[in-house]
Amino acid sequence: MSRLGLKTMFQKSEEVEVVGEANSSAELVSLVGEFKPDVVLIDYGSKEFTIDIVPKIGLKNSAVGFVGITPYNSGKTIVSALKVGVDSHVKKDCSVTEVKNAVMATAKGEKFFCAELVELMRNENIDFEKIELDVIKEPGALSERELEIIKLIAEGYTNAQISVVLYISNHTVNTHRKNIMKKLGVNNTAGIVMFAVKSNLVSPNKFMFSPQNESN
């Protein structure tokens, strides 16, 4: 019934086009790969889906945004979902306007929480700014290639050395590096190294970082 209601809602919208409906995690992966949607809505109440499908899709489709439709009354549940890549959240009983706003905001790369969830998290003293900082450092939106490059950068490899190890051009490595910094919200190699250590891609005492690598 929830899916039927959502489909009917968006059929009346000129800004949103429904390109597919998935009955399972496997079908969702297939549909996302085929249609490359801007936004995917996932109902946490569905027995056919588990939250671990989100980062799996995000690794191969970093541009897609996720809106979680939750029946839960726990801010911690929302924070956990954010950390694996669910961008926005609405309650099942949120207004039609809030659901539409969640989809539109997520399509623009923004995060959205319906008013009830905002109040819920405030009551639990959840720091919105800290959530933003933590989420942007999560690896869910990074591709497998980007994670490889982050690990090599943290271990002290220059762009030229990375190009040899991964059999790609120096220009391609530089492009990946720029995209990585943009996704992580950092502006130098030190920021990439800190992310690698925090995410356990390398151990703190294993990588060899030197300032000259930043220009390579």
Q: Are residues 80 and 152 in the same domain?
A: no
Question: For residues 2 and 43, is the Cβ–Cβ distance under 8 A?
Answer: yes
State how far the Cα of 159 lies from the Cα of 171, in Å rounded to an integer. 9
What is the band of 43 on the pLDDT scale with cuts at 50, 70, 90? Answer: confident
Query: What is the number of helices (H) and of strands (E) in the chain?
Result: 11, 3
pTM for this entry: 0.59
Q: Are residues 52 and 79 in the same domain?
A: yes
One-letter amino acid of 153: I
Looking at residue 157, its pLDDT comes to 92
Can you give the CATH number for the domain in which 162 is found? 1.10.10.10
Q: Are residues 99 and 26 in the same domain?
A: yes
Q: How far, in Å, are 34, 96, 99, 204 from residue 121 at the CA level? A: 36, 21, 18, 33
Residues facing 66 on adjacent strands? 40
Domain termination residue (choose one: 105, 121, 139): 139
Q: Are residues 17 and 109 in the same domain?
A: yes
Q: Are residues 33 and 114 in the same domain?
A: yes
Q: Are residues 103 and 36 in the same domain?
A: yes
- Give residue 103's domain range: 2-139
Q: Are residues 71 and 158 in the same domain?
A: no
Can you give the CATH number for the domain in which 76 is found? 3.40.50.2300
Domain termination residue (choose one: 139, 164, 199): 139
pLDDT tens sequence across 48-58: 777 888 888 87
State how far the Cα of 209 lies from the Cα of 199, in Å rounded to an integer. 17
What is the band of 8 on the pLDDT scale with cuts at 50, 70, 90? Answer: confident
Q: Are residues 95 and 127 in the same domain?
A: yes
Number of domains in the chain: 2
In the predicted structure, residue 208 carries a pLDDT above the cut 60: no
Q: Which residues contact 207 (CB under 8 A, 6 or more apart)?
A: 154, 155, 156, 193, 196, 197
Q: What is the mean pLDDT of residues 2-6?
A: 74
Q: Are residues 168 and 195 in the same domain?
A: yes
pLDDT tens sequence across 99-146: 888 898 888 887 888 888 888 887 888 765 556 545 544 444 677 788
